[in-house]
Amino acid sequence: MATTPALDAGERLTPGRPRAAEGLPRHVAVIMDGNGRWARQRGLPRIEGHRRGVATVRRITEHCARLGVEQLTLYCLSSENWRRPAAELDFLMHLLEQYLIEERALLMREKIRITMIGSRTGLPEATLAALDRTAAMCAGNEGMRLCLAVNYGSRAEIAAAARALAEECVAGRLDPAAITEETLAARLDTALMPDPDLVIRTAGEMRLSNFLLWQSSYAELWVTDTCWPDFTEAHLDEAIRSFAGRVRRFGGLADA
């Protein structure tokens, strides 16, 4: 059973502090919700909420990297989000491309590696080119991994892994009796990545929305009513303090 030391209530996490590092989740995953709601509450177009959300991505990425988080995964676009208006989707893809280009200096300065999970099918070529170029530039970095979930759906990911296993069995390369949780996990988009320790959702919704369903089996959940554009480093610190004060039993007993 894994336990983490509690941090004092209201204590601000500071980069480089050993005590804070002891209570850090290894992998933080964030469902960035509420951009449209934030804009609507202010009488602004939805795209302005997305624009402000990018600024939050920048702050939270930098804060996680400096705290010593090993991986940050951000749910940028679900496979279900294609039902949104075309103009909004075009703007989101433009924002993602712009972010991937403009943040290269930050990624290199903080030694951040970047990768993507999700289907590349249907994504604009310019967006994919920016992603590939930025990932190649950062490939040698040894700091935090920033994982962008784009056109991602966990059920589709698990189904694809199951298909891959079935094909290997039909081809005679794999004995069905040898299939384990580990063999399936090795065929997910997140193979070789640690499972999330902490899943954060903004804007108050109490669901995972098809995000890292397999990987989040034992993740600690933390939900805030704050919409993503208003999410700050202090909110992240609060989530980490909550995580650090929990006992992770993984099905066992607290006193075992």
Given CATH 3.40.1180.10, say whether it is the number of domain 29-152+198-243: yes
Q: Answer yes or no: is pLDDT of 9 > 90.
A: no
189-242 per-position pLDDT tens digit: 999 999 999 999 999 999 999 999 999 999 999 999 999 999 999 999 999 999
d(CA 17, CA 240): 14
The pLDDT value recorded for residue 22 is 59
31-71 per-position pLDDT tens digit: 999 999 999 999 999 999 999 999 999 999 999 999 999 99
Task: Supply the mean pLDDT for the chain.
Answer: 91
Total-model pTM: 0.89
The pLDDT value recorded for residue 15 is 55
**Over residues 77-82, mean pLDDT:** 86
d(CA 163, CA 31): 27
Q: Answer yes or no: is pLDDT of 92 > 70.
A: yes
111-159 per-position pLDDT tens digit: 999 999 999 999 999 999 999 999 999 999 999 999 999 999 999 999 9
Return the SS3 of 6.
coil
The pLDDT value recorded for residue 82 is 80
More confident residue, 8 or 229: 229
Break the chain into its structural domains and give their ranges. 29-152+198-243
Q: Answer yes or no: is pLDDT of 4 > 70.
A: no
Whether 147 and 212 have beta carbons less than 8 Å apart is answered as no
Closest of 191, 226, 233, 196 to residue 211, by C-alpha: 196
176-191 per-position pLDDT tens digit: 999 999 999 999 999 9
Confidence of residue 13 (pLDDT cuts 50, 70, 90): low
**6, 202, 138, 164: CA torsion to nearest 10:** 100
> Residue 152: beta bridge partners?
78
**Over residues 148-177, mean pLDDT:** 97
Return the residue matching tokens 């700050």: 232
Residue 97 CB partners (closer than 8 Å, separation 6+): 124, 126, 127, 130
Cα distances (angstroms) measured from residue 5 to each of 12, 66, 222, 228: 15, 20, 17, 28
d(CA 108, CA 90): 27
The pLDDT value recorded for residue 141 is 98
Please give the single-letter amino acid code of residue 211: F
Confidence of residue 255 (pLDDT cuts 50, 70, 90): low
Confidence of residue 14 (pLDDT cuts 50, 70, 90): low
d(CA 228, CA 54): 9
d(CA 243, CA 237): 10
Q: Answer yes or no: is pLDDT of 3 > 80.
A: no
User: Which sequence positions are flagged as catalytic?
Assistant: 33, 81
Q: Answer yes or no: is pLDDT of 243 > 50.
A: yes
